[in-house]
Amino acid sequence: MTRFAVFLRGINVGGVRITMKDLAAALAAAGYRRVITVLASGNVVLDADEDDAGSLGTALEALLGERFGYPARVVATTTARVAALVGAYPFPPIDDGVPRHDYVVLAASETAVASVMAAAPRPADGESFATGDSVLYWQVPRGESLSSPLAKVLARPQHKASLTTRNLNTLHKVLSRAAAGD
């Protein structure tokens, strides 16, 4: 039994509405255990018999697509890996009066991160990004999460299917709920 964090891309935006109660019920009915949803943006912690996060993600995409009728995109990883990713966040807070968002862009594969980095421009003023273990760490001034040059690369259709972005605060909440569910 492995404890996983599952991140759904694109739910409760753009017409795809799934309540967390319905999501948790569908996952529990499919045999996943200790299912906990975190916030209303498609963050789930669950126990699964699978050992491989990629296989779990593929299985969940099929399950959710069938159950909710949309082209589900899922990034699954162990909660231990989420803790490691959070711990490896490379950008310290900057005390220059500019509030910033701290993000981890989770990828379904290292290839997806490499594709973004190949197209990535130089960071804009006040913005930083760096690669990690199949992730992109990103610090960006508030209000520029959709307009910075990197944000525009991340929004390209070829990247949308394999990436999902989470605020560092959200990942802390996922880890807290995962620990509370033990």
Interatomic CA distance for residues 127 and 58, integer angstroms: 33
Give domain status of residue 173, yes or no: no
**Within this chain, do residues 67 and 92 fall inside the same structural domain, yes or no?**
no
pLDDT band for position 160 (50/70/90)?
Answer: confident
Shared domain for 109 and 93, answered yes or no, is: yes
- Domain span at 154: 88-167
- Both 92 and 162 in a single domain? yes
The pLDDT of residue 181 is above 70: no
DSSP-based three-state secondary structure for 118: helix
Tell me: do 79 and 11 sit in the same domain. yes
Count of the separate structural domains present in the chain: 2
52 in a structural domain: yes
pLDDT digits (tens, 9 = 90+) for 51-108: 889 899 999 999 999 998 888 889 999 999 999 999 999 999 888 888 999 999 998 8
Q: Based on the fold, state whether residues 92 and 121 are members of the same structural domain.
A: yes
Same domain, yes or no, for 78 and 100?
A: no
Please give the model's pTM, rounded to 2 decimal places: 0.91
Judged against a pLDDT cut of 80, whether residue 148 lies above it is answered with yes
Q: Within a domain: residue 110?
A: yes
pLDDT at 37: 93
Domain boundary among 83, 105, 134: 83
Domain membership flag for residue 179: no
Q: Choose one of 47, 67, 83: the last residue of a domain.
A: 83
Question: What are the angstrom distances between the C-alpha of 3 and each of 87, 99, 150?
Answer: 18, 33, 32
Contact predicate 159/116, CB 8 Å: yes
Same domain, 149 and 97: yes
Alpha-carbon span 130 to 123, nearest angstrom: 10
Which of 83, 104, 123 is the endpoint of a domain? 83
Ramachandran class of 131: left when φ > 0, alpha when ψ lies in -120 to 50, beta otherwise:
beta
